[in-house]
Amino acid sequence: DAKTTQPNSMESNEEEPVHLPCNHSTISGTDYIHWYRQLPSQGPEYVIHGLTSNVNNRMASLAIAEDRKSSTLILHRATLRDAAVYYCILRAGGTSGTYKYIFGTGTRLKVLA
């Protein structure tokens, strides 16, 4: 199973952009890069995913390096509600239900008021 490496924790000021890095040097050509976050006392929540191109959605942007060995989740304006643990996960294809998410330790984001 391809693994990811993230910093244990990061801090950001409210209203400022946050760049959360993730290294995945053993990624294979068919692995999708998924990001989830887990707010305190809640289940993980899908944030965004991508394969090769950068992606934007209402929650965040995902910047994927050209060699795909790293990616960065970008929160454009951090709010106090964005304080959570952010997980970067690689997800391969295959038949339905066969691939499991391997959650690492994630990055705990602290947002300062």
Partner 1 sequence: DTAVSQTPKYLVTQMGNDKSIKCEQNLGHDTMYWYKQDSKKFLKIMFSYNNKELIINETVPNRFSPKSPDKAHLNLHINSLELGDSAVYFCASSQDQEVGPGRSEQYFGPGTRLTVT
Q: Which residues bind partner 1 (CB under 8 A)?
A: 30-32, 34, 36, 38, 41-46, 49, 51, 85, 87, 91-101, 103, 105
Cβ proximity to partner 1: between 78 and 90 the closer is 90
Tell me the closest approach of the beta carbon of residue 93 to partner 1, in angstroms: 4
Cβ proximity to partner 1: between 17 and 101 the closer is 101
Q: Within 10 Å of residue 5's Cβ, how many Cβ atoms?
A: 13
46 forms beta bridges with: 36
Q: Is there a contact between 51 and 74 (Cβ–Cβ < 8 Å)? A: no
Tokens coding 109: 């984001």
Tell me the closest approach of the beta carbon of residue 61 to partner 1, in angstroms: 16
